[in-house]
Amino acid sequence: MGSVVWRSIPTVLTVEELLDKAFSKAKKAGDAVADKDRIYRTRKQMIRMTGSAGDSLSATLLDWVKRWPSIDQMSEFDVAMVEAAVGCDDYRQSLGACQWAAGKCVDIGQQNAKKIRRMVNIPPMHEARREAYGRISSIMGRIEKNLDFLRDARDTLRTLPMIDSSEPCLVVAGAPNVGKSALIASMSSGKPEIAAYPFTTKQLHVGHFVNRRLKYQLVDTPGLLDRPMEERNQIEMQAIAALEHVGDLCLYLMDTSETSGTSIEAQTNLLNEVAGLLPQTPLIAIDGKGDLIEDIDAEEWAAVCEMEAALSQDPDGPIPEIRNPATGHLVISATAPAGIERLRLEIVERIGQMQQTDPLSLPDHWHVQDDSV
């Protein structure tokens, strides 16, 4: 099941815009009627105008229903994102209201046509057309709040990331300000906002790197605070949605220097909570801000940074590794950078162990040119 391309969902017009468009089109349809007999001509005009207005509104509303993704056909990740961002019930109800109104507009046009066909005087025909327009306007007024919701929801949903379920996805988790955005930026093409205050990542951001023509997606989550699920805000619920539904592998970033403002104890509690949320997802704990870890020898750290820098000139050179003596975790620094290539290698190896594939098969889109090679 592919991910939803939120940027492709159509614009939702206001009730006034919809009615103006439909009635304008109806007038043109009426003006196109030609008949020498005034009574017959008027009858045809009124029938065509009300029918055209109803059909036009119905076609627009049903087109929206068709082009807006159905909750029932979304992946679990996209459903969770909709729930966190705008609410699944309101989303489903608003699209359902559009479908209801579409049927009502057509019904009014058909009912009005039957009424006008029995009329022999011109004034009642015009009155029947005005009555039909009023009923159509009333129907559209009843779904005005639904249209307002969809219009606002579109603005929100278009900012959501697209996750390809056919490619490995790595979720980067951790407390606020531990360096998740910096890690994503150093490993991939993603460039999330980086600043020295909590919740700098206002929404989920997706970066990626390519290894042997397979794209690895990295999802940068908002900071997850160490508190009960029911107390989490909307931004944090987006992170939970990513953790629960798309992560093939979770990278949990620690800041043992505590310069992020969150204690080691709180970060450890959060690590245990994340592990509980993802019992089936492999988790790699990483210690970031390696240059600030006191337990690491300064000379050893300098040597790792030097070897990492040499890889830009000799990609086949040795990949350095350094671990925190206190935790045993792999140590990285996104700013140095150091430990990034070792982490990348470990990710590729772990994902490779998880994938049971034919050794002679090629990944999807293998024929696409890889500019990084």
Task: Judge whether residue 373 has pLDDT over 50.
Answer: no
Cα dist. 299→168, 303, 304, 307, 345 in Å?
36, 6, 9, 12, 24
Task: Judge whether residue 73 has pLDDT over 70.
Answer: yes
Kindly report the average pLDDT of the chain as a whole number. Answer: 87
Rounded to two decimals, the pTM is: 0.76
Segment 22-56, tens digit of pLDDT: 999 999 999 999 999 999 999 999 999 999 999 99
Task: Judge whether residue 83 has pLDDT over 50.
Answer: yes
Q: Please, what are the domains in the chain?
A: 6-157 (1.20.120.1190), 169-354 (3.40.50.300)
Confidence of residue 17 (pLDDT cuts 50, 70, 90): very high
Check residue 366 and give its pLDDT: 52
Segment 160-217, tens digit of pLDDT: 777 887 889 998 988 888 988 889 989 987 676 555 545 555 667 788 899 888 899 9
Segment 133-150, tens digit of pLDDT: 999 999 999 999 999 999
Q: Is-contact 102 66, C-beta < 8 A?
A: no
- In which residue are the tokens 């992946």 written? 75
For residues 4-24, average pLDDT: 94
Task: Judge whether residue 57 has pLDDT over 90.
Answer: yes
For residues 114-130, average pLDDT: 95
